[in-house]
A and B are shown apart, each in its own frame.
Chain A
């Protein structure tokens, strides 16, 4: 039987009263697999990652990570779960007052008692994995956007977490870095049996590495399946997204809110 690392059950979430951001989300992430969550901007993909990492709580429904319901456990238990997961932030979120080495070494220094020599070796290995050997002493403000994201990736995988959450890992990367990163995600998944959740817009690369895909629109899951099933789907919204068509069921416009109606009536 398939073992799920993450389970979202009947989940609703909103930041404000007048707009439900996530509606009745049911989603399972299988152990050791790469699951992609795709959809247009503002469809709630990043919010799902924030819910899984315990940064925010759902209004309704359950978020289960490693079989723990996050709304029913203590902060300390959430911290224990977080030690088993890594999150690559959309904009890297590197610590700007310390250099690349110190950034990558940060989780190792905080959570292990390894010697400085060993930590330096691990940092060098992680930087090599993301193709940034030789950047050890650079400060984050000396890195390009793409390089900063790769350093952030090296930091996220420093502890070889069981579950990796990638928020737009391919944005701002050149084609070579993009393929390197995609291959690294695949390699981590196959060699370490690491579970990965990939939030991305890059259809071609994602189809190549993902084991399962969810498609989201307006806060709902509109389709799911293996990359092959997604390719062959007849769902018009998914087809529109894959083909990048301007017209179709996918709305380019931001969903109208009650406050917007009130603004028009003023």
Chain B
């Protein structure tokens, strides 16, 4: 009988954990929404967090965007050459980046660089009783610490995505025009002709906004849920990166189905 009970427990545990996690995430989200007004009244807290999560991520995002653009340029050129249509390389690079690669890769990079940092900071503050100290001083740690981080992620990801897209297009231009000697006028004019401001650029940035929201929510949630030990904080940061990547990819599919 005990074996049967244990078997049912083993099967049911992941499902019940998932439901509990979703419930806690929803509660946290509601609390974050209701507390946003407090943080918006103190913009300096948000600016500080945007600096840590956004400004300090500029280099990794710019460099990654540049290399992704260069790879797209190379791969695109080789494939398009077979069909004699290398002239549309600019469109290929721009559309790939603006619609998909820019928002998705940027969100995953943001989760790895800044999201894990948010989780670790909140987790360590919890482990060293800093959140308790704040609470005892009649300062709500969610409003004072967590919400500014959450909002900063929502602000930073679309802006970083725009930078990623720009650097990617310049990388593609470098490979196509400077290395493979494609005509510069053709590269830009094809891109200008095929990229639509609303359908491609704005929709890409809306995607980034959603990704910023989900990555920030996962990051702060994992930080608050981290066990107050070194191992617990380490496991929480790992979970932030894994869950964020999966959530971004799944959300990307849903958003793409609705948008394009």
| Chain A contact residues, CB within 8 Å of chain B | 53, 55, 79-80, 82-83, 85, 87, 89, 91, 93-96, 106-107, 110-111
User: Which residues of chain B come closer than 8 Å to A96, judged between CB atoms?
Assistant: 124, 128, 130
Partner of B133, one of A80, A89, A111: A89
Contact A87 B136 (CB under 8 A): yes
Indicate if the CB atoms of B137 and A110 lie closer than 8 Å: yes
Chain A residues within 8 Å of B136, by CB = 53, 55, 82, 85, 87
Q: How far is the CA of A8 from the CA of B248 in the complex (A)?
A: 50
Question: Would you call B128 and A91 a contact (CB within 8 A)?
Answer: yes
Contact B128 A111 (CB under 8 A): no
A106 to B130, CA, bound (A): 12
For A95, the chain B residues whose CB sits under 8 A away are 130, 133-134
Contact flags (1/0) for B128-172 with A, using CB distance below 8 Å?
111011111111100010000000000000000000000000000
Closest residue of B by beta carbon distance from A75: B140
A-B contact count (CB 8 A): 43
6 closest Cβ contacts across the A-B interface? A93-B133, A82-B138, A93-B129, A79-B138, A83-B138, A87-B136
Please determine whether B138 and A93 come into contact, CB atoms closer than 8 angstroms.
no
Interface residues in B94-153 by Cβ distance below 8 A to A read: 124, 128-130, 132-140, 144
User: In the complex, what distance in Å separates the CA atom of A205 from the CA atom of B134?
Assistant: 29
Are A93 and B137 in contact, with the CB atoms below 8 A? no
Q: How far is the CB of B188 from chain A (nearest CB, A)?
A: 45
CB nearest to A91 among chain B residues: B129
Q: How long is the Cα–Cα vector from A236 to B140 in the complex, in angstroms? A: 45
Residues of A with C-beta under 8 A to B128 = 91, 93, 96
A53 to B129, CA, bound (A): 14
Q: Is the CB of B137 within 8 A of A89?
A: no
B-chain residues with CB within 8 Å of residue A94 when the two chains form the complex: 130, 133
Q: Which of B130, B133, B134, B135 has the most CB of A within 10 A?
A: B133
Query: What residue of chain B has the Cβ atom nearest to residue A90's Cβ?
Result: B129
Q: Which residue of B lies closest to A87 (CB)?
A: B136
Residues of B contacting A110 in the complex (Cβ-Cβ under 8 angstroms): 137-139, 144
12 contacts between A and B (CB under 8 A): A53-B136, A55-B135, A79-B138, A82-B137, A83-B138, A93-B129, A93-B130, A94-B130, A106-B137, A110-B137, A110-B144, A111-B137
* Residues in B neighbouring A83, C-beta threshold 8 A: 138
Closest residue of chain A to B140 (Cβ to Cβ) is A79
- A55 to chain B: which residues have CB within 8 Å? 132, 135-136
* Residue from the set A80, A93, A111 with the largest chain B CB neighbour count within 10 Å: A93
Give chain B nearest CB distance to A204 CB in angstroms.
28
Residues of A close to B124: CB separation below 8 A:
96
Chain A residues whose CB sits within 8 angstroms of the CB of B135 once the complex forms: 55, 82
- Alpha-carbon distance A141/B141, docked complex (angstroms): 22
Q: How far is the CA of A39 from the CA of B142 in the complex (A)?
A: 35
Q: Within the assembled complex, what's the spacing in Å between the Cα atoms of A154 and B136?
A: 15
Report chain A residues within 8 Å CB of B132. Answer: 55, 89, 93
Please give, as numbers and ranges, the residues of chain B lying within 8 Å of A106 by CB-CB distance: 137, 139
Please indicate the chain B residues that have their CB under 8 angstroms from the CB of A53 in the complex: 136
Closest to A80 in B: B138
Closest to A159 in B: B137
Q: A87-B136, A89-B132, A111-B137 are in contact. List 11 more A-B contacts (CB 8 A).
A: A79-B140, A80-B138, A82-B136, A82-B137, A83-B138, A87-B133, A93-B128, A95-B130, A95-B134, A96-B130, A110-B138
Nearest A residue to B145 via CB reads A95
With beta carbons under 8 angstroms apart, the residue of B134, B138, B144 that contacts A111 is B138
Cα separation A85 to B137 with both chains bound (whole Å): 8
- Report the Cα distance A87→B136, complex, angstroms: 7
CA distance in complex: A94, B129 (Å): 8
Compute how far the CA of A126 lies from the CA of B124 in the bound complex, rounded to whole angstroms: 27
Query: In the assembled complex, which residues on chain B have CB atoms less than 8 Å from the CB atom of A79?
Result: 138, 140
The interface bits of chain B over 70-91 (1 if a CB of A lies within 8 angstroms of the residue's CB, else 0) are 0000000000000000000000
Give the docked Cα–Cα distance between A85 and B128 (Å).
21
Q: Which of B27-85 contact A (CB under 8 A)?
A: none
Cross-interface CB contact of B137 among A80, A91, A107, cutoff 8 Å: A107
Q: How far is the CA of A89 from the CA of B130 in the complex (A)?
A: 10
Instruction: Please provide the chain B residues from 163 to 187 with a CB less than 8 Å away from any CB of chain A in the complex.
Output: none
Distance between Cα atoms of A53 and B128 in the complex (Å): 18
